Amino acid sequence: MINTPFLTLIYREVLRFIVLYKQTIMPGIISSGLYLVIFGHALGSRIGSINNIDYIHFIIPGLTMMAVINQSYANSSSSIMQAKYLKFIEDYLVAPVSGFELSMSFIIGAIFRGVINGILIILTCWMLTDFNVHNYSLSLFFLIITSCVFGAIGVIIGIISKSWDQVGVFGTFVFMPLSMLGGVFWSVDMLPKGWQFITILNPLYWMINGLRYSMIGISEIPIMFSIIISIIFAIIFTIIASVMFSRGYRIKS
């Protein structure tokens, strides 16, 4: 049987960011293009290569991942915040759907936005440099699983936050440092030993490495670890988001 309520919720989520493409799709492509030009072309020639890969190619997966993380998180967190702020979240809560279906509809919306952004950024990089994707299906897997993790985190933060500030604070003070320290622009070998240990504890490091392997064929860590750790994070955060919706934490009284 087709689950029309669930499919409609997903359809609305996807259509929402497509309608707002100037805010949801264009900025990621433009900022990634700028990073590529400045860090890749202008500074990259002075850095040389990392693990025998040109610096400009080395940073493409990191840039892609940074955009995917930001966009998927922004999609679900802002969608929930707006629905809470304007109270139309009540339309979802009275619909005949489970907490799991509700959270999945926001997460799937975030996955679509993350993956579309990721693919368009990869295409932009492909046009600006001479790189080819090493493994397409594994790249798609990492785009999906990362969007899922951060879409779910967006749901959680969207539910918890009482103001837009709180949503923004999380992006600035948690995601930005984690993605910068997760190896977007450099290899973990380039860091002092103490920082290397801290980096390994950063979940983003594993995802960025996973995508880096899928896109350019090099990895500092076994790819299986990246896959398993990413899946575990996706499951954990999806469960937390679903439980919050089911129990109505901060959204039902």
Partner 1 sequence: MDSMIQINNLKKTYSNGFNALKGININIEKGKFFGLLGPNGAGKTTTIGILTGLVNLTSGNVLIDGYDVIKDYKITRRMIGLSPQEINLDVFFTIKELLTFQGGYFGLSLSESKKRVEKLLYDLGLEDKVNAKARELSGGMKRRVQIAKALVHDPELIILDEPTAGVDIELRHLLWNSLKEMNIKQNKTLLLTTHYIEEAEALCDEVAIIDDGKIIAQGSPKELIKADGESYINITVNKINENILSDYNIDINENIIKITSKNPEKDIPNIINILSESNIAVRNLNVKTASLEDVFLKLTGKNIIDD
Q: How far is the CB of 3 from partner 1 (least distance, A)?
A: 9
Number of helices (H) and strands (E), helices first, in the chain? 13, 2
Residue 54's nearest CA partner among 218, 231, 221, 252 is 218
**Nearer to partner 1 (CB atom), residue 22 or residue 87:** 87
Beta strand residue intervals within the chain, DSSP E: 49-50, 53-54
Among 81, 95, 76, CA closest to 240? 76
Nearer residue to partner 1 within complex by CB, 64 or 78: 78
As measured in angstroms, the least distance from the Cβ of 250 to partner 1 is: 11
Q: What minimum distance in Å lies between the beta carbon of 9 and partner 1?
A: 7
Name which of 88 and 173 has its Cβ closer to partner 1: 88
Q: How far is the CB of 93 from partner 1 (least distance, A)?
A: 6
How many Å apart are CA 199 and CA 82, to the nearest integer?
A: 34
- Six token digits for residue 65: 């991942």
Say how many C-beta atoms besides its own lie within 10 A of residue 250's C-beta: 13
CB distance 175 to 73 below 8 Å: yes
* Residue 145 CB-density burial (10 A; 0-12 exposed, 13-18 middle, 19+ buried): buried
Token match 């670890």: residue? 225
Give the residue with the Cβ less far from partner 1, 54 or 101: 101
Cβ 36 to partner 1 shortest distance, Å? 32
Q: Between residues 33 and 99, which has the closer beta carbon with respect to partner 1?
A: 99
Closest to partner 1 by CB, 202 vs 246, is 246
The residues binding partner 1 (CB under 8 A) are 4-5, 7-9, 11-12, 15-16, 19-20, 82-83, 86-88, 90-98, 247-248, 252-253
Give the separation between CA 115 and CA 109, rounded to whole angstroms. 10
Question: Shortest gap between Cβ of 90 and partner 1 (angstroms)?
Answer: 6
